[in-house]
Amino acid sequence: MGTVVKSVRVKEEIWESFRRISKEENRPLSQLINEALERYLAEKAGKIAAEKIRKLPELSLGPEPLTREEIYEGRG
Amino acid sequence: MRVGVDTNVLFYSLNKETPFHKEARENLALLVEKGQAVIAQQNLVELVVALTKRGIAPQEASSYAKYFSEIIPIVRPTGKTLMLFLDHVRKAALQGVRLFDLYLALTFISNGVDHLYTYNKKDFQNIEDLRLWPPS
């Protein structure tokens, strides 16, 4: 299942590598290409998420370590 | 490998006044980039409590928890979590606040998470099936 994609230009050596792997592993080209695209998209999403962590605001919350005692005990 | 992230890591990644700030932020970013970081709902509740106790307004604290929830996958306690919890309480004779550590650890374990990134390593050292990250 999937969409038939037309007119995508692929470097000759990349295409040949995919065909070789497809033969060696006895798996359809479509499956290999789908896997590669999925991996690329996951990597891209990971990089975007990591940048969001790096861009978090920096707060001044004091130098004391955070413990569960502080979180759960007392009412302050 | 999936790595459960403790509340102190989230907190230190925000808090520029702790010596762990840069390390926590960068390690968390790397784990997120690799798709390995996981948090529990309990972490987000604890983060809001910790932030408000340190003077952050509830609305702002809530927005930070939401921010993390949109970036890092969240795991939730399951029926297995409760059974494991009750069993561990009986065997390990833990009490008081330590039980929240245990419940967090078991939430991760019952969701197939096998590592924990925390700055309170000693509180989790004796929990089987959960290795500390990064390994020392």
Tell me which chain A residue has its CA closest to the CA of residue B72.
Answer: A49
Q: Which residues contact A60 (CB under 8 A, 6 or more apart)?
A: B15, B16, B17
Beta-bridge partners for B40: B75
DSSP state of A26: T
Inform me whether the C-beta atom of residue A52 falls under 8 Å from chain B C-beta atoms: yes
Q: Residue B13 corresponds to which amino acid?
A: S
- pTM for the model stands at 0.88
Longest Cα–Cα distance in chain A: 67
Which chain B residue has the Cα nearest residue A68? B97
Residue-level length of chain A: 76
The 10s digit of each residue's pLDDT in B40-79 is: 999 999 999 999 999 999 999 999 999 999 999 999 999 9
Chain B residue closest in CA terms to A50: B29
Q: Look at A59 and B8 and tell me if their CB atoms are within 8 Å.
A: no
Which residue shows structure tokens 């990644």?
A: B13
pLDDT score of A1? 65
pLDDT averaged over every residue in chain A: 91
Residue B31, Cβ neighbours under 10 Å: how many? 25
Contact of A55 with chain B, judged by CB distance below 8 Å, is answered with: no
Q: Which residue from A50, A62, A72 is facing B100, i.e. has the nearest CB?
A: A72
- Give the model confidence (pLDDT) of A31-63 as tens digits: 999 999 999 999 999 999 999 999 999 999 999
Tokens of B76: 């939730």
The pLDDT tens digits for B92-113 are 878 889 999 999 999 999 999 9
**A44 CA to chain B: closest CA distance, Å?**
9
Q: Is residue A2 over pLDDT 80? A: no
- A45 CA: distance to closest CA in chain B (Å): 8
A65: contact with B, CB 8 A cutoff: yes
pLDDT band at B126 (very low <50, low <70, confident <90, very high): confident
Contact across the interface for B29 and A54, Cβ inside 8 Å: yes
* B60 Cβ neighbours under 8 A, 6+ residues apart: B51
Chain position carrying tokens 């490998």: B1
Distance CA B29, CA A50 (A): 4
pLDDT at A75: 55
Cis status of the peptide bond prior to B58, with omega within 30 of 0: no
